[in-house]
Amino acid sequence: KATLRDRITGQLQRTGPLRLADRRHGETATLLTRGLDALDPYVVGYLPTRAAVAVVPLTVVAWVAWTDWTSALIIVITLPLIPVFGALVGMHTAQRTARQWRLLSRLGGHFLDVVAGLPTLRAFGREHHQTKVVHDMADAHRRATMRTLRVAFLSSLVLETVATLSVALVAVPVGLRLLHGDVGLHTALVVLFLAPEAYLPLRAMGAAFHDSAEGISVAERVFAALDDEVTNRPAAERAPAPDARTAALTLHDVTVHYPGRTEPALRDVSLAIAPGEHI
């Protein structure tokens, strides 16, 4: 997080105030604080569970197959059900989380703009109107958060139900075969103890995905900010700045246009500023 925060801060410094004028500073502040903090569940929770999913189910299936190939076949058939249902619900969750983050960024940006322009708002008697606007935006973010939580709880219920039914599909045949003497007690206990472990990493990954959904949405914005054209501009295109304490500044017939404006801010300006002088 510290590295990403430093890189984004450096990118903002290199971009300069002119290019940053079109950005909402509150959204940038939210990204640097709450946004980067949301990456913790993704890095600490989701990525390790993905590694466990790649190892644990295969190991359990191999051990169960060595003990009872029929139960291993049932596990192999039912294992894909959890990621399939998790992906279906996860796509809906990603959309909800992205909308929630947009609302939070908009709320932070608008609140910062209101605070910065509070003297002007008070001068024109519009502070009460902006209070209502901020309240409405906060309420919209609250509703979006509750909708996201409902989807997350629904996803957990779906994954738990699928995992429970899958374990039952393994346990019931093993119990019936044990009752009829077709399988030994040792084999039945091994299958019953190991079968839930095959589904556990997938369930944990589903839960971690919802915990890290906000971090995934934020990561896209973070890397988009780092891929800004100003950051990626070759160093050869950026002339080194001289030391302002010893260098003089001379302009000859300089004309400056701001983006989107037809009239120049400066037209044919010529001047010389000696070291130490101020305008």
What pLDDT sits at residue 160? 84
Contacts of 261 (CB under 8 A, 6+ apart): none
Contact 210, 155 (CB under 8 A): yes
Residue percentage of the chain with pLDDT more than 70: 75
Q: Name the residue with higher pLDDT: 239 or 236.
A: 239
Q: Residue 205 burial by CB count (10 A; 0-12/13-18/19+): exposed, middle or buried?
A: buried
Q: Where are the domains of the chain?
A: 2-236, 242-273
Question: How many residues are given for the chain?
Answer: 279
Q: Closest by alpha carbon to 79, among 182, 200, 174, 250?
A: 200
pLDDT at 18 over 60: no
Count H helices and E strands in the chain, helices first: 12, 2
pLDDT band at 236 (very low <50, low <70, confident <90, very high): very low
Residue 25 binned pLDDT confidence (cut-offs 50, 70, 90): low
pLDDT at 4: 73
CA torsion, points 221, 223, 224, 227, in degrees to nearest 10?
160
> From CA 51, how far away is CA 45, in angstroms rounded?
11
Average pLDDT over residues 141-164: 79
Is residue 217 within 8 Å of 39, Cβ to Cβ?
A: no
Q: What are the contacts of 98-102 at 24+ separation with CB within 8 A?
A: 98/217, 99/144, 100/141, 100/144, 100/145, 100/147, 100/148, 100/214, 101/35, 101/214, 101/217, 101/218, 101/221
Locus of tokens 């973010």: 141
pLDDT tens digits along 56-114: 888 888 988 888 888 889 999 988 888 888 777 767 666 777 677 677 777 777 777 77
> pTM for the whole thing?
0.57
Tokens of 187: 């084999």
Region at 276 (left for phi over 0; alpha for psi -120 to 50; beta for the rest): left
Return the pLDDT at 133.
79
Give exposure, 177-196, as e/b (b: 16+ Cβ within 10 Å).
bbeeeebeeebbebbbebbb
- Is the separation of the CB atoms in 256 and 265 below 8 Å? yes
Task: Report the alpha-carbon distance of residue 82 to residue 158 in Å, rounded.
Answer: 9
Q: Which residue has the higher pLDDT, 58 or 39?
A: 58
| Confidence at 15, pLDDT banded by 50, 70, 90 | low
232 has pLDDT over 60: no
Would you say residue 190 has pLDDT above 80? yes
**Do 64 and 194 meet the contact criterion of CB atoms below 8 Å apart?**
yes
CATH class of the domain comprising 2-236? mainly alpha
Write down the pLDDT at residue 235.
46
Distance in angstroms (rounded) separating the CA atoms of residues 275 and 134: 47
Q: What does the pLDDT average to over 151-170?
A: 83
More confident residue, 11 or 63: 63
Handedness of CA 151, 152, 154, 159 (dihedral sign): positive
* pLDDT of amino acid 112: 72
